[in-house]
Amino acid sequence: MWISGPVVRVTTHQPARMMEMVFVSEERLIGEIIRLRGDEAIIQVYEDTTGLEAGMPVFGTGAPLSVELGPGLVSTIYDGLQRPLAKFVERSGPWIDRGGRFPSLDPVRRWAFRPATSAGITVEGGMVLGTVQESAVITHRILVPPRVRGTLRWLAPEGEYTVAEPIASIQTASHETTVTMRHSWPVRMARPVRRRLRPSIPLLTGQRIIDALFPLAKGGTAMIPGGFGTGKTVMQHQLAKWSDADLIVYIGCGERGNEMTNVLKEFPHLEDPKSGRPLIERTILVANTSNMPVAAREASIYTGLTLAEYYRDMGLDVAVMADSTSRWAEALREISGRLEEMPAEEGFPAYLGTRLAEFYERAGRVETLNGQEGSLSIIGAVSPPGGDLSEPVTQQTRRFVRCFWALDRELASARHFPAIQPVESYSEYAQDLLNWWLDHEPEWARLREHVVDLLRRDRRLQQLVKLVGEEALPDEQKLALYAARLWREAFLQQSAFEPIDRYTTVEKQLAMMRVIDHWYERASELIKRHVPFYRLAELPVNERIMRMKLTPNEEAATILHLVQEIDTEMETLAQSLQV
């Protein structure tokens, strides 16, 4: 036996399989076989290996690392191996002891099951057998497990059942299978779907810079790269809170303990704008904080994804937040280093890109096995060392995601949040979503184009300003700079902590965009009529535009009064100057 940190080499006498889950030592620490050579197996252990001795036994399970799926997942906080953290508190108090083995789903809790079909019909994987109201907002559909096909012999009548009790029996070609509300699925295997659909519906987030400039589609992928303190986690929290997904799976992977605590304390008290219910009722948390064992960090990402896929299969729109994928990549690197594999860039293994691709490709808008439409969106935070976006994890991730929300340290220093750099960031979904916007808000695309153009122009002018100073520019260019500033400060900048500002409806976003766009359009006309720029910059309405974000969502229509005020003030100004 050979032990180095989370990696253990043992000699096996029984047949073992790659990715088989094993238990190490009498304490039964959970591990997974990651390499086989002759009669030697290399195991990555998901718990602290301190104190393990040469010669300790290893027990095979014959099955790959899997999660339990069924009612009771929602509102729960799990560790990276899907063990409920609450059970650890019962077992060992505030600190996590190794070796805990708990059922992921409460085996005694009874759920009210309502059958949705009747015996006698032919069923196959993904079909809905019945429903359980898992939380006030999540109607849990009990599905025939994937790959099962046959005649439904028996279906339980309406009543209360535990996840372990049979609720149906299916005669397959070979034998009769008993179905419970719970089944298990290997975490590293994507769950099957009927076909993939194009991502053409926006995932509305209530975050103005995202919805308006760099939109995400339902079933899309996005990355948030940013150095420390640029607001990755706050942004992930914002998306988890306000996205119009049906279910959120939040994976805290190698990050701070207090951040998970914050979610746990806050989500029961925040209201989902869509349902009016506490956010926790549509949230599943997977927490493997930075001080918890590193190998389990690697597993936590897959655990979270599999839970998300399961709900997607019920026809829900699910969004996964992974904070941070860099810590997951570092776990890969650490294991790879201990296996003495030849490193590629910066010590990361050569298969980093493949693993990232496998991860992000599990996202998508799909037609499920039962013909419903569901989606799984993935938003991954990336923590580049030194904020350097040329590092391997950022670069490799960029190949497989279609939204790039680059966080900027300078914006963060000025407390301009979200600190998304408006020129370097992009979203490839903007085009895909065009038709949806044309159907819903025809004006959206035009306004979006205006602001994108103006921000690009602002970037070029800023370079000029750095050389000659703003005073040297002609009025028309000064106006462009000023308008860009209005967009940035009055619209793009959004506080995550102000109750009114933290979430903005589409209606309010549109009103705000119209106002700023109108201001610039009218002001440009006046500049052409030789109204001096500084008079336009002094208009009292400007300050009200700056503060329009503080108008509550329900009063969004009142923001449009500013359009008249702009007209009046500019009219008066023009008349007073007799132009």
Partner 1 sequence: MRRLSGTACRGLQELHGPLLVIEGISGAAYGEMVQVRDPHGELRYGRVLEVRPQAAVIEVFEGTAGLGLQDTTVQFLGTTFELGVSPEMIGRVFDGLGRPNDGLPAPPAVVWRDINGRAINPLARDYPREFIQTGISAIDGMNSLIRGQKLPIFSGAGLPHNELAAQLIRFANLPGESQRFAIVFGAMGIKHDEAALFREAFAISGLQKVAMFLNLADEPSIARIITPRVALTAAEYLAFDLGMHVLVVLTDFTAYGEAVREIATSKGEIPSRKGYPGYLYSDLASIYERAGRIEGLSGSITLVPILTMPNDDITHPIPDLTGYITEGQIVLDRNLFRKGIRPPINVLPSLSRLMKDGIGAGSTRDDHAHLANQLYAAYARAGQVERLAAIVGEEELSVVDKRYLAFGERFEREFVAQGPDEDRSITATLDLGWRMLTELPKEELTRVTEEEIKEHLP
94 touching partner 1, by CB under 8 A: yes
Looking only at residues 287 through 346 of this chain, which bind partner 1 when binding is defined by CB under 8 A? Answer: 287, 289-292, 294, 327, 330, 333-334, 337, 340, 343, 346
All residues at 6 or more sequence positions from 396 whose CB lies less than 8 Å from its CB, including other chains: 352, 353, 356
258 touching partner 1, by CB under 8 A: yes
Nearer to partner 1, 449 or 489 (CB): 489
Looking only at residues 23 through 82 of this chain, which bind partner 1 when binding is defined by CB under 8 A? Answer: 49-55, 77
Q: CB of 334: closest distance to partner 1 in angstroms? A: 5
The binder of partner 1 chosen from 2, 17, 354, 554 (CB under 8 A) = 2
Nearer to partner 1, 14 or 413 (CB): 413
Distances (CA, A) of 113 to 43, 167, 168, 180: 41, 9, 11, 11
Token code pair at residue 506: 């589409």
Span from 90-98, 200-208, 239-247, 298-306 in contact with partner 1 (CB under 8 A):
90-98
Looking only at residues 462 through 521 of this chain, which bind partner 1 when binding is defined by CB under 8 A? Answer: 465-472, 489, 497
248 touching partner 1, by CB under 8 A: no
Q: CB of 5: closest distance to partner 1 in angstroms? A: 7
Of 386, 390, 366, 385, whose CA–CA distance to 376 is shortest? 366
Q: CB of 391: closest distance to partner 1 in angstroms? A: 9
Residues 95-124, one symbol each (x = binds partner 1 by CB under 8 A, - = not), give xxx---------------------------
The binder of partner 1 chosen from 173, 530, 543, 575 (CB under 8 A) = 543
262 touching partner 1, by CB under 8 A: yes
260 touching partner 1, by CB under 8 A: yes
Exposed / middle / buried, residue 512 (Cβ in 10 Å: 0-12, 13-18, 19+):
buried
End-to-end CA, the chain: 90
Looking only at residues 373 through 412 of this chain, which bind partner 1 when binding is defined by CB under 8 A? Answer: 383, 385-388, 409-410
For residues 508 and 490, the answer to whether their CB atoms sit within 8 Å is no
Of 495, 412, 452, whose CA–CA distance to 226 is shortest? 412
Q: CB of 572: closest distance to partner 1 in angstroms? A: 18
Nearer to partner 1, 206 or 254 (CB): 254
252 touching partner 1, by CB under 8 A: yes
Distances (CA, A) of 110 to 114, 155, 307: 13, 17, 21
All residues at 6 or more sequence positions from 247 whose CB lies less than 8 Å from its CB, including other chains: 74, 138, 282, 283, 284, 308, 311, 316, 317, 318, 319
CB atoms near residue 498 (< 10 Å): 11
How far apart, in whole angstroms, are the C-alpha atoms of residue 101 and residue 87? 9
How far apart, in whole angstroms, are the C-alpha atoms of residue 289 and residue 297? 8
Q: CB of 338: closest distance to partner 1 in angstroms? A: 8
Task: Give the pairing of strands 2-4 and 7-11.
Answer: antiparallel
Residues 423-462, one symbol each (x = binds partner 1 by CB under 8 A, - = not), give ----------------------------------------
